[in-house]
Amino acid sequence: MKLKKGLCALAAVCVVPASAAPDAPPAADWHLAGRLGLLQFIVVPETSARDRAYYDRIIDTVCSDDTASCFLRFFTNASGVAMSFPLPDAVLAEPTVMFQRSAKHQREQFQWSCRLGLAESTCF
């Protein structure tokens, strides 16, 4: 019996999420939904969909190698549908940002979705 109690206590300690630890970094509120080659599909919360600095932080994390190509497509999931890949139509209907960095052409492009009404010059 003592052994079982000890294992249960140990198991309880092991299943405590890392986010509960005081020194743990905050959990990311975005979700890498899937990849197709170099193209990565990321779902962000609706509350951050229009925040350029928010996207810059994600881009810095996901595309940390400044010399490599990186292609990102961002979406929201306002309807709360279950996430799967390929992305459900409800999520595909909510694009927010397209980011591309081409190592070959040494060019970087950040474009807002036209549906957000934030385009500085062009949108998609």
C-beta separation of 34 from 41 below 8 A: yes
pLDDT at residue 3 in the model:
44
Bridge partners, residue 31, by sequence: 43
Which residue numbers in the chain have pLDDT < 50?
1-25
User: Are the beta carbons of 112 and 97 closer than 8 angstroms?
Assistant: yes
Cβ–Cβ < 8 Å for 97, 53 = no
Amino acid at 28: A
0.85 cut: is pTM over it?
A: no
The pLDDT value given to residue 28: 80
pLDDT score recorded for residue 30: 96
